Amino acid sequence: MKAFVLERYGKKRALELENLPTPELRDDEVLVQVHAAGVNQLDSKIRDGEFKLILPYRLPLILGHDVAGKVVKIGPRVQQFKLGDEVYARPDDFRIGTFAEFVPVKEASLALKPKGLTMEEAASIPLVALTAWQALVEKANLKKGQKVFIQAGSGGVGTFAIQLAKHLGAIVATTTSTANIALVKSLGADVIIDYKTQDFEDVLRDYDVVLNSQDGKTLEKSLRVLKAGGKLISISGPPDPEFAKEIGAPWFVKLVVRMLSSGVRRRAKSRGVGFSFLFMKASGSQLRDITRLIDAGFIRPVIDRVFRFEQTNEALAYVEAGRAKGKVVIKIR
């Protein structure tokens, strides 16, 4: 099979197009023929070596965390899927590799593709949808009438999270640039802050939840817009001790993580608010819940551009530039 491979960590390092054997299947996996793959900031961060400490991958490595395609082979313990099923998934950590013609995916991490979506649209969903679901439903337990601030509303996670929060009945604030105000409004944002002309800290007060996806300076300001008892959930770091425990990190990684997040945890505690780091996990059952929302018309995919398979490096560079509205997808078949 053809695949784009990371040979060595390196900032903006190009992936190499190579011919590789089709991956071996484990008993609880299905082999998916990849029709389309979503591109995420996570891919470029892994390529740059930013996650070496918490995700110690062995190189060479095929990147890619989103897939939509067809089931072409089934492991002996698989019961829910059959040959020819159209499926989508965010493969598990250490089994990623969707920038390729085939990828094995654990049965527990897979779901049938939403019926009304193309393969490209379906490939844009899993990682950002699961991130938004695990932040707003699992961690925040977001309720009707609560106020949530979702940063970077026109980005991949933002476009999905706004729609999910509105479906849950929340009042949604977001930041975006002047050019994307109409987009985030169409997704359901109630309070829109043009970050080029306004500071969200001057506008927002007494919020129940903040979904932080930006830098440390934004994280600090976000603590100040929460009311007492509010929750700040960060998907951009710093990782916290709870996360290190979840991934079974060795003692020295736990120590580093504790130190990295000690400042923000201390400041959150002094303000009477909660801080937690979210690194989303693969989940077929949550994807099935998300599929129902998409099939019912509550949530729609937002795609900026679709690149050809041979343009995978260009797609990564485009996502890295941070200008994409919604998701960027690679069409493989």
Whether residue 56 is preceded by a cis peptide bond, meaning omega within 30 degrees of 0, is no
Residuewise pLDDT in 10s, the chain (333 residues): 999 999 999 999 999 999 999 999 999 999 999 999 999 999 999 999 999 988 999 999 999 999 999 999 999 999 999 999 999 999 999 999 999 999 999 999 999 999 999 999 999 999 999 999 999 999 999 999 999 999 999 999 999 999 999 999 999 999 999 999 999 999 999 999 999 999 999 999 999 999 999 999 999 999 999 999 999 999 998 999 999 999 899 999 999 999 999 999 999 999 999 999 999 999 999 999 999 999 999 999 999 999 999 999 999 999 999 989 999 999 999
The answer to whether the beta carbons of residues 329 and 303 sit under 8 Å apart is yes
User: In the chain, what percentage of residues exceed pLDDT 90?
Assistant: 98
User: Which residues make Cβ contacts (< 8 Å) with residue 122, sequence separation at least 6?
Assistant: 36, 68, 86, 88, 113, 114, 301
Please indicate whether the domains covering 2-125+301-331 and 128-277 agree at the CATH topology level: no
Residues whose CB is less than 8 angstroms from the CB of residue 72 and which lie 6 or more positions away in sequence, other chains included: 31, 32, 33, 83, 102
CA of residue 84 relative to chain centroid, distance: 27
Q: Any idea which architecture 128-277 has in CATH?
A: 3-Layer(aba) Sandwich (3.40)
CATH for 2-125+301-331 (3.90.180.10, 3.40.50.10490, 3.40.1160.10, 3.40.190.10) = 3.90.180.10
DSSP string, 271-299: TT-EEEE------HHHHHHHHHHHHTTS-
Contacts of 83 (CB under 8 A, 6+ apart): 71, 72, 73, 74
Taking the whole predicted model, whether its pTM rises above 0.85 is answered as yes
Q: Where are the chain's structural domains? A: 2-125+301-331, 128-277
